[in-house]
């Protein structure tokens, strides 16, 4: 199980690293004046996240199946501990993604300029593997510096936007894990419990769609049209990343079991309604 857990943690790390790095597209789009291309690059970058999830999901299911076959209290506790390690891997991915943001901004700007010349994203991707360009990419790596925080202001960012971002990140991180653990607690109703991950993630999706995404897009557009300083976009990215780190490191761990028990309760309720 340890080898399987290591692979799952790697893919989880990659998912959250990619999603964190994608935030930097906003600033790259502003600086290159190519907002539409920047949004397209976000979708392309998140393909890595989606592909990682394709590999991760079956392995998580296999862990649950192994636990059910063992059918012991110790195996359930071990599964819970393993899932907490997966959550910790999500935190590490978010943290490393935040540390890579200055580098990502520079690299995405260069990629957008090359794309404007070639008009082909595959060509841009292949060009990165040329020895000369690979060396440039490695040399471009730089850690965040204190002076880069100059101009970061909390007062320009809506408070609701910041709070909801933390909650949404935490819920997205644990949604599937909660339903899988609930399925292990209720093996005879495992299919129902797993399908109920939508109850957890659905709430997060609604809040993200209504509050987080539009607020960030509004500030980005205002900066693009010179109605705000560029520092406001940097503030959005900074607080999105801080919220992501806090959400995965603390809040996700705190609400993991309560949300699991919530899914267990809903699963039992549905079972009684169907039988009744």
Q: Can you give the residue ranges of every domain in the chain?
A: 2-275
The whole-model pTM stands at: 0.90
Other CB atoms within 10 A of residue 138 CB: 9
pLDDT at 114: 83
Other CB atoms within 10 A of residue 129 CB: 9
Q: How far is CA 73 from CA 66, 132, 177, in A?
A: 13, 55, 18
Helix or strand run (H / E) with residue 259: helix 252-275
Alpha-carbon torsion, ordered 240, 101, 21, 117, to 10 deg: 130
pLDDT at 2: 59
Cα 84–Cα 87–Cα 88 angle in degrees, nearest 5? 90
Q: How far apart are CA 12 and CA 200, in angstroms?
A: 18
Q: How far apart are CA 86 and CA 57, in angstroms?
A: 12
Per-position pLDDT tens, the chain of length 276:
558 899 999 999 999 999 999 888 888 888 888 887 888 777 777 788 888 888 888 999 999 999 999 989 999 999 999 999 999 999 999 999 999 988 888 888 888 888 888 777 788 778 778 888 788 878 778 777 776 677 788 777 888 888 999 999 999 999 999 999 999 999 999 889 988 887 778 888 888 888 888 888 888 888 888 888 888 888 888 999 999 999 999 999 999 999 999 999 999 998 888 765
pLDDT at 140: 76
Q: SS3 of 229, please? A: coil
pLDDT at 116: 82
Q: Which residues of 19-32 are buried (b: 16+ CB within 10 A; e: fewer)?
A: bbbbbbbbbbbbbb
pLDDT at 230: 85
Q: Are the CB atoms for 165 and 212 separated by under 8 Å?
A: yes
pLDDT at 203: 80
């Amino acid at each position: 199980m340890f080898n399987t857990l290591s692979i799952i943690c790697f893919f989880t790390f990659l998912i959250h690293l990619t999603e964190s790095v994608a935030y930097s597209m906003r600033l790259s789009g502003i600086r290159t004046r190519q907002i539409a291309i920047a949004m397209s690059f976000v979708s392309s970058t998140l393909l890595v996240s989606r592909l990682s999830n394709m590999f991760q999901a079956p392995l998580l299911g296999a862990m649950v199946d192994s636990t059910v076959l063992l059918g012991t209290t110790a195996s359930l506790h071990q599964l819970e501990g393993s899932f907490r390690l997966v959550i910790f891997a999500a935190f590490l991915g978010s943290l490393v993604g935040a540390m890579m943001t200055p580098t990502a901004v520079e690299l995405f700007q260069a990629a957008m300029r090359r794309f404007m010349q070639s008009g082909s994203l595959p060509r841009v991707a292949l060009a990165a593997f040329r020895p000369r360009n690979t060396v440039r990419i490695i040399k471009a790596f730089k850690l965040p510096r204190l002076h880069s925080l100059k101009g970061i202001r909390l007062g320009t960012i809506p408070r609701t936007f910041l709070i909801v971002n933390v909650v949404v990140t935490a819920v997205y991180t644990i949604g599937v894990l909660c339903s899988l653990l609930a399925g292990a607690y209720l093996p005879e109703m495992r299919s129902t419990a797993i399908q109920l991950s939508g109850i957890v993630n659905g709430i997060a999706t609604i809040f993200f769609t209504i509050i987080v995404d539009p607020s960030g897009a509004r500030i980005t557009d205002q900066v693009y049209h010179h109605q705000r300083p560029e520092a406001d976009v940097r503030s959005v990215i900074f607080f999105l990343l801080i919220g992501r780190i806090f959400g995965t490191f603390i809040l996700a761990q705190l609400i993991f079991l309560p949300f699991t028990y919530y899914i267990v309760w809903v699963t039992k309720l549905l079972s009684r309604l169907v039988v009744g």
